[in-house]
């Protein structure tokens, strides 16, 4: 008998006992003239002893879950073929444990930047949503889109999370001193790597890709020789949160806000902002993008493309794809299962560059401010994070179909995992460090070794890791600057305008839109933050 069947039988037995006890209680009340007895006693056990009453904060079973609820969960990413089948299994467990089921909606990569903010503006009906600094968590929280989460709520409805979440995770996830998100607590560094077709590299006798120069040479060679294939999807059509394609940028400098081309040095103890368009090195990077476009590395209409480039790469339509190391390793594994002859390679084209670890506000789950079932939503999130069966399902899929355990800490992907790639169906809002299994084989070893290398040699803790810009006084200017970037910088990124011609005009338009005011306000806030957090 499995644990779920046993649990159902125990619940049936308890229900029978409760009915008998209620009958006895009614008889007792009738016998004493119906007088009120306000003293609560513990239930008798089979041996005649008593059990202590369990508080709601320590036992989800003590919380009223009599009414069944459906919780709407919004995720960002591609909905894989077997997603409904996997979440049907998740819902069997959710239903049993908290009398709730999840209805999951995915905003695909080519639509989320437009549809995600519109959900809140239109006050659509949903309960939980993926959030993070790359999804403008701060702005959404300040506009009242998320429910504030108090210590009392977390203790009561998310006891496992309260007991095990690092205090720093709670602190880094706050906006203006208030918590609106339960963050993932797994180590991540969000900087990008590339996945390339190793068979094409070998075909043209190219060296291993170990630098930005090597990568550009690979893409240019493929564009020249592989007719009918797009070498690379091209720069993003969305300027936020980084107004330059990050894989071609400078990892050791970061943007304060995606709406303005203002950067600071990660390693600086007293960061000072500058405009990257004034930097000859960045001008050189933009010139490089122009040359790649002229050489046909990406499609001429990439600036308006709606293609999901990860899917295109997996389908053999492109020769390279860029992503964070987690998604890159997952893509590598998926391709090796169906097209091992492509010899996919994950390459770090900035191997010596310093980079930051992702702060805890980089990704998590928030409760919609108008959710009708916030308590049950929090209980569901606690299960997503710490129920081992649910966690394995949402991260790896169905055991025996998509994956199989190798040990308590490792797993093996099965061929059917193409229908539910490991770590690939947007479980990033509840990635819990102690629950993670390492993928057996090359991709898993690569992920583990890359993270360890970065921790040992590349990771720096920026003084501004937890800095959150207050845009109250510059909201209009930031909106105007974002429009200028979209109008005048995106064409430069995509190689439609020569940088020598486009940069002076872009700088002029940025100045007219209020860049100087924004830079002064940002520097003022950064200086105050550094002074308060020495």
Give the CATH number of the domain where residue 164 resides.
3.40.190.10
Instruction: Look at residue 491 and tell me if it is in a domain.
Output: no
pTM, to two decimals:
0.68
Residues 6+ apart with CB under 8 A from 108: 77, 78, 79, 308
- Calpha distance 504→18 (Å, rounded): 78
Both ends of the chain: CA-CA distance in Å? 58
Domain annotation covers residue 159:
yes
Q: Which two structure tokens, joined as six digits, stand for 311? A: 């899917």
Give the residue from 407, 397, 417, 400 showing the smallest Cα distance to 438. 407
Domains held by the chain: number: 1
Asked, for residue 332, whether it belongs to a domain, the answer is no
Q: Which tokens in the block code for residue 111?
A: 């639509």
Please state, in angstroms and rounded to a whole number, the distance separating the CA atoms of residues 45 and 88.
36
The tens place of each residue's pLDDT in the chain, 534 residues long, gives 444 444 443 343 334 333 333 333 333 333 333 333 322 333 333 333 223 223 334 455 578 899 999 999 999 999 999 999 999 999 999 999 999 999 999 999 888 988 999 999 999 999 999 999 889 898 899 999 999 999 999 999 999 999 999 998 998 899 888 999 999 998 777 667 899 999 999 999 999 999 999 999 999 999 999 999 999 998 887 776 665 666 777 778 888 888 899 999 988 999 999 999 999 988 899 999 999 999 999 999 999 888 888 889 999 999 999 888 888 888 888 898 899 999 999 999 888 888 877 788 889 999 999 999 999 999 999 999 999 999 999 999 999 999 999 988 899 999 999 999 999 999 999 999 899 998 888 888 888 888 889 888 888 878 887 788 888 899 999 999 999 999 999 999 999 999 999 999 999 999 999 999 999 999 999 999 999 887
**Is the Cβ–Cβ distance between 343 and 198 less than 8 Å?**
yes
Q: Per the domain annotation, does 432 fall within a domain?
A: yes
Query: Which domain range does residue 158 map to?
Result: 69-187+359-436
User: Using CA atoms, how far apart are residues 375 and 223, in angstroms rounded to an integer?
Assistant: 53
Collapsing DSSP states into helix, strand and coil, what is residue 288? helix
Q: Could you give the CA distance from residue 289 to residue 293 in angstroms, rounded to a whole number? A: 6
Does 215 map to a domain? no
- In the numeric block, which tokens belong to residue 294? 């002229």
Residue at 204 is within a domain: no
């Amino acid at each position: 008998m499995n644990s779920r069947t046993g649990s159902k039988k125990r619940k049936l037995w308890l229900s029978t006992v409760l009915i008998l006890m209620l009958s006895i209680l009614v008889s007792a009340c009738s016998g004493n003239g119906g007088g009120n007895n306000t003293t609560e006693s513990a239930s008798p056990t089979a041996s005649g002893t008593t059990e202590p009453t369990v508080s709601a904060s320590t036992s989800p079973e003590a919380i009223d879950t009599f009414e069944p609820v459906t919780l709407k969960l919004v995720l960002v990413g591609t909905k894989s073929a077997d997603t409904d089948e996997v979440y049907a299994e998740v819902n069997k467990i959710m239903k049993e444990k908290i009398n709730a089921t999840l209805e999951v909606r995915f905003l695909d990569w080519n639509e989320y930047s437009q549809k995600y903010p519109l959900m809140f503006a239109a006050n659509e009906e949903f309960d939980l949503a993926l959030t993070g600094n790359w999804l403008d968590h701060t702005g959404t929280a300040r506009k009242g889109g998320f429910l504030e989460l108090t210590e009392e709520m977390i203790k009561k409805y998310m006891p496992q999370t309260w007991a095990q979440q690092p205090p720093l995770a709670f602190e880094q996830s706050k906006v203006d001193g208030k918590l609106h998100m339960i963050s993932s607590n797994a180590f991540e560094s969000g900087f990008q790597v590339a996945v390339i077709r190793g068979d094409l590299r070998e075909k043209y006798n190219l060296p291993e890709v170990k630098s930005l120069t090597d990568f550009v040479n690979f893409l240019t060679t493929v564009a020249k020789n592989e007719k009918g294939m797009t070498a690379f999807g091209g720069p993003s059509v969305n300027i936020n949160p980084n107004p330059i394609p990050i894989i071609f940028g400078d990892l050791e400098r970061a943007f304060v806000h995606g709406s303005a081309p203002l950067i600071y040095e990660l390693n600086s103890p007293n960061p000072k902002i500058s405009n990257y368009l004034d930097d000859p090195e960045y001008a050189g990077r933009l010139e490089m993008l122009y040359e790649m476009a002229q050489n046909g590395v990406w499609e001429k209409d990439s600036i308006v493309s709606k293609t999901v480039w990860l899917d295109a790469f997996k389908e053999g339509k492109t020769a390279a794809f860029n992503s964070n190391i987690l998604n890159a390793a997952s893509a590598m594994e998926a391709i090796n299962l169906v097209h091992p002859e492509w010899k996919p390679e994950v390459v770090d084209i900035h191997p010596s560059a310093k980079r930051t670890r992702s702060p805890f506000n980089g990704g998590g789950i928030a409760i919609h401010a108008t959710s009708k079932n916030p308590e049950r939503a929090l209980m569901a999130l606690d299960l997503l994070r710490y129920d081992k069966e649910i966690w394995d399902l949402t991260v790896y899929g169905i055991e025996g179909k998509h994956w199989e355990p190798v040990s308590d800490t490792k797993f093996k992907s099965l061929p059917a995992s193409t229908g539910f790639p490991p770590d690939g169906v947007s479980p990033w809002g509840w990635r819990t460090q102690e629950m993670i299994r390492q993928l057996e084989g090359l991709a898993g070893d690569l992920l583990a070794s890359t993270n360890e290398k970065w921790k040992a040699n590349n990771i720096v803790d920026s003084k501004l890791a937890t800095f959150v810009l207050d845009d109250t006084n510059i909201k209009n200017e930031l909106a105007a600057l974002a429009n200028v970037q979209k109008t005048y910088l995106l064409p430069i990124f995509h190689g439609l305008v020569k940088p020598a011609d486009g940069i002076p005009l872009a700088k002029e338009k940025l100045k007219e839109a209020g860049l100087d005011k924004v830079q002064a306000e940002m520097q003022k806030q950064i200086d105050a933050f550094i002074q308060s957090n020495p």
